[in-house]
Amino acid sequence: MTSLSATGDNGGAGQEPGAIHRGGRAMARFGLSLMLTLLGLTLVTFLIARVIPIDPVLVMVGDRATPEAYQAAREALGIDKPLLVQYADYLSKVVRGDFGVSNMTGQSVLDDTLRVFPATMELAIVATLIGTLLGLPLGVTAAVRQGRPTDHLIRIISLVGYSVPVFWIGLVGLLVFYAKLDLVAGPGRLDMVYQYTVPVRTGFVLIDTIMAGEWSAFGNAISHLILPAGILGYFSMAYIARMTRSLMIEQLSQEYILAARAKGVPARRVIWRHAFGNVAVPVLTVVSLTFMYLLEGAVLTETVFAWPGLGLYITQALFSADLNAVLGGTLVIGICFVIVNRATDFFYRILDPRTK
Amino acid sequence: MSAAHIDRAPASGWRGWLTAEQPESVFQGRAVQVYLSARRFMANPLAVSGFLIVLLLLFTAAAAPWIATHDPLATNLEMRLLPPSAEHWFGTDHLGRDIYSRIVHGSRVTLTIVFLVSILIGPVGLAAGIVSGYFGGWVDRTLMMVTDIVMAFPRLVLALAFVAVLGPGIENAVIAVALTGWPPYARLARAETLSFRRREFIQAARSQGASPLRILGLYILPLCMPSAIVRLTLDMAGIILIAAGLGFLGLGMQPPTAEWGSMIATGRDYLIDQWWVATLPGAAIFVTCLGFNFLGDGLVDVFDPRQS
């Protein structure tokens, strides 16, 4: 934090005695807004589950059931209770991690989602790394060369990222790099050969293969990962580059930059240490927001790449009309999404002295 | 830059009237503003190309029956999976339907979705925002809390769950996309309303006995419209992409109607040997989104020169 705020105009502002108090308040605020948002999210998924046009009781007892049997099933399902009570029941189940049983796999939805979750995380993490490593320099370059051809080129590159359907570019990528050029491995996380030789420890294939000392499997995993992660990474790059650019432009027009330049500080140092130092925190929040969108964007990417993560799980459940799994999976992604979102907000408030 | 150039240019006649530094009537003032904005817009190649793409999309949708070379629904199994040719410009799909004609007709579905979503999220977001900003207090806190909560929702996944449960179809897809789409407009309109609410013209209206409804509707809303429209243009691509994603998963417009997302899904099975079935509808989505993004980006430059 000190290195972030040591650039002059607001250095040390966060070190006042009020900082601890402020941290506590931000913490309370974080907790409250997290709770409220999760409540809102569960309310929405609950309402979605409740408005099913199919009568769940009818599904259970069949249409030849006697009115008594129908009524009994209704009570067994708890549908006769007031909506608010039903929501409370639903909430208490969610809190206990009880998302019901998946018709597709016959296992509890929670176990299923926990099993496939690392695959999604791995994809999203690698994609965010790619996006950040490319997006930051591009954004800074665009800001420094504002209005010049380089800036316009970078702008077009990122607008393309905003415009491409991820499932389509995934298919095109498979067509070109896998089917035609044979540069990368195809769908899935590992070739068949390796699938049973590498023991699952963490669920992260890259880590598991290293732990097993299977270097050829590791190489294979990278070859499978690089295309989906590269495509998702391009989207996060587009977002990161654009946001970094506008944040940097704002800083570069400040007087302290002029002062530093006048003082004879080398341009590279002015840009990366003075200006970028001041946008590092907001850029960090941008990065974590793109991570959040990647968790969600993984749904379509995983479908295209047969990547056995949460997204593929949800879409497969969708095709087998497995509503417990669809809603449970949605809730898991939603909860992660909300936590990342609120935590980002929280850290932004803590780290950036200007948000006081 | 171009605006400064225009200001200094010696002008006469129509151009002089349109670039007058001190307009003599409200009408002239507006005309000058529109003219200068248009000049700035035309000087931005990205924005103009975006505008042309969007224009092309509108034209395609309006004139679909006349531009299409074949019936988009007519199947012909003898002509299945033909590569692009003079007869079938973009080839044919697995049922022998002409892909070019299906793409042309698919533009109508895309535009319908975009239009319906826009007329849902724009007004809802604007209303929430100006009410929140104008009244302040607990109204503001409550509305902004709801806005904040909805803003933290995963859009695509919720839309997916919503349509999965309610059943596929264009109406449900539209509602699903709109459900989580309005908060940015509320935020935007609230911020703008806050900057207007203490101004003299609002106070003058209030002291003359204008009702809050009148002030919001006649004075504040029109001022919030331009940025909402710009934002909507930038949002279009996102809306189209989510809708196409739903279509790709089989949750959008149902077959046999031509919809770009579902066309890609059917082409998946023939990807390697018949590349045109899946890739060309995707190209249509891409170009359309690019058009809206270029246009929106250009509009930001025109309306908010600070950022350019």
Contact A37 B264 (CB under 8 A): no
Q: CB neighbours (10 Å) of residue B277?
A: 25
Considering only CB atoms, A37 lies closest to which of B149, B250, B308, namely B149
Task: Determine which of A204-208, B2-6, B65-69 has the lowest per-residue pLDDT on average.
Answer: B2-6
Return d(Cα A189, Cα A206) in angstroms, integer. 10
Determine the residue of chain A that is closest to B267 in CA distance: A171
> Could you tell me if residue A347 is inside a domain?
no
Considering only CB atoms, A53 lies closest to which of B166, B285, B292, namely B166
> Would you call A41 an interface residue with chain B, using a CB distance cutoff of 8 Å?
yes
Residues A264 and A122 in one domain: yes
Domain end residue (candidates: A301, A320, A351): A301
Residues A130 and A84 in one domain: no
CA distance B247 to chain A (A): 11
A57 pLDDT exceeds 80?
no
Return d(Cα B195, Cα A77) in angstroms, integer. 52
How far, CA to CA in Å, does A305 sit from each of A190, A216, A243, B217, B268? 12, 21, 29, 50, 11
What is the pLDDT confidence band of residue A179, given thresholds at 50, 70 and 90?
A: confident
Residues A237 and A157 in one domain: yes
A154 pLDDT exceeds 60?
yes
> Would you call A306 an interface residue with chain B, using a CB distance cutoff of 8 Å?
no
pLDDT of B57 reads 93
Phi and psi (nearest 5°) for A150?
Answer: -55, -45
B96 pLDDT exceeds 60?
yes
> Could you tell me if residue A70 is inside a domain?
yes
Structure tokens at A145: 């060369």
Considering only CB atoms, A36 lies closest to which of B149, B157, B241, namely B149
Contact A330 B161 (CB under 8 A): yes
Determine the residue of chain A that is closest to B239 in CA distance: A163
> Would you call A338 an interface residue with chain B, using a CB distance cutoff of 8 Å?
yes
For residue A274, what is the domain's CATH number? Answer: 1.10.3720.10
A350 pLDDT exceeds 80?
no
pLDDT of A132 reads 94
Contact A49 B152 (CB under 8 A): no
pLDDT, greater one: B6 or A117: A117
A356 pLDDT exceeds 60?
no
B177 pLDDT exceeds 60?
yes
A52 pLDDT exceeds 70?
no
Q: Give the domain range for residue A40.
A: 28-95
* Chain segment A252-288, per-residue pLDDT in tens: 888 888 888 888 888 888 888 888 888 888 888 889 8
What is the pLDDT confidence band of residue A216, given thresholds at 50, 70 and 90?
A: confident
Q: Record the pTM.
A: 0.84
Residues of A in contact with B145 (CB under 8 A): 36
Residues A151 and A284 in one domain: yes
Contact A162 B148 (CB under 8 A): no
pLDDT of B285 reads 93
Residues A209 and A60 in one domain: no
> Could you tell me if residue A232 is inside a domain?
yes
Residues A163 and A208 in one domain: yes
> Can you tell me the mean pLDDT for A166-192?
85
> Can you tell me the mean pLDDT for B170-199?
88
B14 pLDDT exceeds 60?
yes
Return d(Cα B91, Cα B97) in angstroms, integer. 8
Classify residue A225 as exposed, middle or buried by CB count within 10 Å of its CB (0-12, 13-18, 19+).
buried
Letter string b/e over residues A39-56, b meaning 16 or more CB atoms within 10 A of that residue's CB: ebbbebbbebbeeeeeee
List A residues 111-140 in contact with B (Cβ-Cβ < 8 A).
none
Residues A123 and A189 in one domain: yes
List A residues 234-253 in contact with B (Cβ-Cβ < 8 A).
246, 249
Print the SS3 string covering A25-80. Answer: HHHHHHHHHHHHHHHHHHHHHHHHHHCCCCCHHHHHHCCCCCHHHHHHHHHHHCCC
Return d(Cα A298, Cα B140) in angstroms, integer. 35
pLDDT of B307 reads 47
Domain chopping of chain B, boundaries? 1-43, 45-303
pLDDT of B308 reads 40
Residues A252 and A128 in one domain: yes
> Could you tell me if residue A271 is inside a domain?
yes
Residues A186 and A296 in one domain: yes
Contact B153 A41 (CB under 8 A): yes
Residues A250 and A287 in one domain: yes
Domain end residue (candidates: A255, A278, A301): A301
Query: Complex ipTM, two decimals?
Result: 0.82
What is the pLDDT confidence band of residue B55, given thresholds at 50, 70 and 90?
A: very high
Instruction: Determine contact, residues B50/A163, Cβ cutoff 8 Å.
Output: no
Residues A86 and A127 in one domain: no
What is the pLDDT confidence band of residue B117, given thresholds at 50, 70 and 90?
A: very high
- Percent of chain B clearing pLDDT 90 (strictly above): 19
In CATH terms, the fold of domain B45-303 is: MetI-like fold (1.10.3720)
Contact B156 A299 (CB under 8 A): yes
Classify residue A215 as exposed, middle or buried by CB count within 10 Å of its CB (0-12, 13-18, 19+).
exposed
The count of domains in chain A is 2
Domain end residue (candidates: A284, A301, A318): A301
> Would you call A159 an interface residue with chain B, using a CB distance cutoff of 8 Å?
yes
Considering only CB atoms, A174 lies closest to which of B146, B165, B271, namely B271
B160 pLDDT exceeds 80?
yes
Q: Considering just the CA atoms, what is the radius of gyration of chain B in Å?
A: 23
A253 DSSP 8-state letter: T
Residues A154 and A73 in one domain: no
B291 pLDDT exceeds 90?
yes
Return d(Cα B38, Cα B250) in angstroms, integer. 42
Size of interface A-B (CB pairs under 8 A): 145
Contact A165 B271 (CB under 8 A): no
> Would you call A60 an interface residue with chain B, using a CB distance cutoff of 8 Å?
no
> Would you call A51 an interface residue with chain B, using a CB distance cutoff of 8 Å?
yes
pLDDT of A55 reads 62
